[in-house]
Amino acid sequence: MIRKRRARPHAEGRHKLPSLRSYRDFRLLWTGSAMSVMAERCSGMAFTLLVLWHTRSESAAGIVGFAGLLPALLVQLPAGVLVDRLNRRRVMMTCVVVRMVAVATVAVSLLGDTVWVWHIALVAFVQSSMTVFYQLSERAMVRNVVPSPQLGAAMATNEARSRGVNFVGHPASGAMFGLSAWVPFLTSVALYLASLVTLVKLRGERQPPRPPRTGRRMRSEVAAGLTWVWGRAYFRTALLVISVSNLVFQGLILTVAVVIREDGGAAGTIGLIMAAGGMGGLCGALSGGWLNRRLAMRQIMILAHTAWAVVMPTAVFFRQAPALGALFYITSFIGATVTVSGMSYQVRITPNDMQGRVGSVVMLLVSGASSLGALGTGYLLEAVGSRHTLVALSAVMAVLALLAAVVFSRAGAAREDRADSTEPLDAAHTPSEPAALPGPDVPAPASVVDGTPADPLTHEARRTDG
């Protein structure tokens, strides 16, 4: 009886975790990354607008889009190895500096009234390459700055941040581009500088980086990350299905920009449509916990792709900006719930010393094909026009929805879903000390229920005593 009475306060104590805002390093990491993401959104969208409005060439816009997405295919795997070897805070700071300098060259060239497509493509490639390193480092650091029971909430908060920045960044970029082409790029430089100042204050990682390896060892470490992911059939299949859907959405983004231009719309209109997508993603990230607690990941995959297949054809018949904005809101809302669940699951089950490599494999599978989507859609638009391109993209999504329904309805998928949920979390990680005066509570989204983390796929509470 005495032992039970002592265990009872312990159980209750788990309900009174400090606010995420009470962790100094998490606040700094969140703030610095928010400014970094905002800088990337401002310049990234401006790249497409600049090429479309300056050259009036869909293929040129497709080339720039391809260059910006190519690092997701080429850089992911070596970046994952290096992120596991190096001090992640320093990696993030280096990435911010390189992106700041690269974007500054575009601002300078525009101030001189000079635009070269090859220059824009090169800067887009460099910025995206550094973003790959930055994102892998940031995601791996989250588990070092918050305790395990709050990992799901932290990942959901980060996803909400990114979606919120999309909501603000895209229309802001379009509006700034309307003022002058160089304004969004100069704004990005200022935001990168502010992000760097914030990251300088961030404490270094508690464990030292691993010693450098030889080139041959790097290949074996890349193989280890690939093997780790490929050995989990259910997780692997989900990643492959999502990768194809991402390819479709990259094509949809470029096609919608062309539709607005063909109908005589302004660059700011595209920004507003992207903002609708950002708002949808923000709402999806904040409310994803309700859905994730009630549905397994395989069910979310089926419902998400079915819903996407239903709403995408509306763009063929309704080309007005409000209708396109509603389409982007719905698709982004659904996508955010899938993203939060998948990220929480991957970070939770991956050993700390493999976070970079496994994360790079995941991003390669999920986003690597996106570069081909932008490139292929650019040439398809020039060949058959925007309406037929939308029909083709909708057809691909319909086939993908049918495939998801067949694959994830199998009994084997349910068994693998449950098996993955039993993966143990590796050795406890030590977060930064919370501040003396916690800030207001952050709502517990996604995979935290009453202080006990839930598995992002099966949504069953997993005890974390000790």
DSSP 35-46: HHHHHHHHHHHH
- With respect to residue 275, please indicate whether it lies within any of the assigned structural domains: yes
Range of the domain at 91: 23-205+225-423+444-453
DSSP 68-129: HHTHHHHTHHHHHHHHHHS-HHHHHHHHHHHHHHHHHHHHHHHHTT---HHHHHHHHHHHHH
- With respect to residue 169, please indicate whether it lies within any of the assigned structural domains: yes
Domain count for the chain: 1
Average pLDDT estimate for 301-329: 93
- With respect to residue 428, please indicate whether it lies within any of the assigned structural domains: no
Mean pLDDT of the chain: 77
Q: 338-377 pLDDT, tens per residue?
A: 887 777 777 777 777 787 888 888 888 777 667 677 778 8
Q: Band of the pLDDT at 414, cuts 50, 70, 90?
A: low
Give 286-291 contacts, CB < 8 A, sequence gap 24+. Answer: 286/156, 286/160, 286/443, 286/445, 287/337, 287/445, 288/156, 288/336, 288/337, 288/340, 288/341, 288/445, 288/446, 289/156, 289/444, 289/445, 289/446, 289/447, 289/448, 291/337
Q: 8-39 pLDDT, tens per residue?
A: 444 444 456 677 777 788 888 889 999 999 99
Residue 314 to residue 17: CA distance in whole angstroms: 45
- With respect to residue 210, please indicate whether it lies within any of the assigned structural domains: no
- With respect to residue 1, please indicate whether it lies within any of the assigned structural domains: no
Q: How many residues does the chain have?
A: 466
- With respect to residue 463, please indicate whether it lies within any of the assigned structural domains: no
- With respect to residue 76, please indicate whether it lies within any of the assigned structural domains: yes
Is residue 411 over pLDDT 70? no
- With respect to residue 265, please indicate whether it lies within any of the assigned structural domains: yes
CATH code assigned at 392: 1.20.1250.20
What's the whole-model pTM score?
A: 0.65
